[in-house]
């Protein structure tokens, strides 16, 4: 199962990252801080920033030797330091191949070893059923729905909170 690996970002990834990330269908499911359009310069800035971050919290998802997406974690602080939030996207040309499911499994293993949290969570916009299915396959459960909790594309959306407890 080495068809899918998570690895640190490299400058050589910039062109491929821009090619898969500059996609409205991806942008519709991520936070607005994700640039759109997504340029090679955006990719280089991201990679430069992430290459110096310790501990490693963002990874390139590689499928059969090709950059397929991105996965990362947000380490919560203060009284929530036992929690880790995950976020991810897979390039549209790679959808439906089980890549996200396997990559999240690997990301959760890394999180368990590196940070030993009691809670891993993901927030998913109400329309992103595929992402919810991927989380469920990885042992996450729907903790709740935050009603009208986000604004994306000038639409107020419910946010589904998925959790994996340790």
Fold of 4-165: Aminopeptidase (3.40.630)
What pLDDT score was predicted for residue 70?
Answer: 98
25 touches 129 (CB < 8 A): no
What is the mean predicted confidence (pLDDT) over 134-155? 98
- Tell me what percent of the residues of the chain surpass a pLDDT of 70: 99
Query: Mean pLDDT for the chain?
Result: 96
What pLDDT score was predicted for residue 11?
Answer: 96
CA distances, 165 to each of 121, 130, 162 (Å): 9, 21, 10
Q: Which helix (H) or strand (E) is 159 found in, with range?
A: strand 155-165
Q: How many CB atoms lie within 10 A of CB 54?
A: 5
pTM metric for this prediction: 0.94
What is the mean predicted confidence (pLDDT) over 21-47? 96
Q: Beta strand 66-75 with 83-90: parallel, antiparallel or unpaired?
A: antiparallel
In the predicted model, is pLDDT for residue 130 greater than 60? yes
What is the mean predicted confidence (pLDDT) over 105-134? 97
pLDDT-based confidence at 51, cuts 50/70/90?
Answer: confident
In the predicted model, is pLDDT for residue 53 greater than 90? no
What pLDDT score was predicted for residue 52?
Answer: 83
Residue ranges per structural domain of the chain: 4-165
pLDDT-based confidence at 13, cuts 50/70/90?
Answer: very high
Cβ contacts of 69 within 8 Å, gap of 6 or more = 20, 60, 61, 88, 89, 90, 91, 94, 99, 100, 103
What pLDDT score was predicted for residue 2?
Answer: 73
- Tell me what percent of the residues of the chain surpass a pLDDT of 90: 95
pLDDT-based confidence at 1, cuts 50/70/90?
Answer: low
């Amino acid at each position: 199962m080495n068809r899918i690996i998570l690895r640190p970002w490299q400058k050589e990834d910039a062109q491929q990252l821009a090619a898969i990330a500059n996609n409205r269908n991806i942008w519709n499911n991520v936070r607005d801080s994700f640039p759109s359009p997504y340029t090679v310069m955006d990719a280089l800035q991201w990679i430069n920033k992430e290459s110096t971050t310790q501990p490693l919290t963002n990874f390139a998802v590689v499928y059969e030797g090709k950059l397929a997406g991105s996965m990362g974690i947000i380490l919560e602080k203060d009284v929530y330091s036992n929690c880790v939030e995950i976020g991810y996207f897979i390039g549209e040309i790679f959808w439906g191949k089980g890549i996200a499911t396997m990559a999240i499994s690997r990301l959760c293993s890394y999180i368990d070893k590196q940070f030993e949290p009691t809670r891993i969570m993901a927030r998913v916009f109400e329309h992103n059923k595929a992402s919810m299915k991927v989380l469920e396959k990885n042992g996450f459960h729907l903790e709740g729905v935050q009603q009208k909790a986000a604004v994306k594309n000038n639409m107020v959306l419910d946010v589904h909170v998925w959790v994996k407890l340790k």
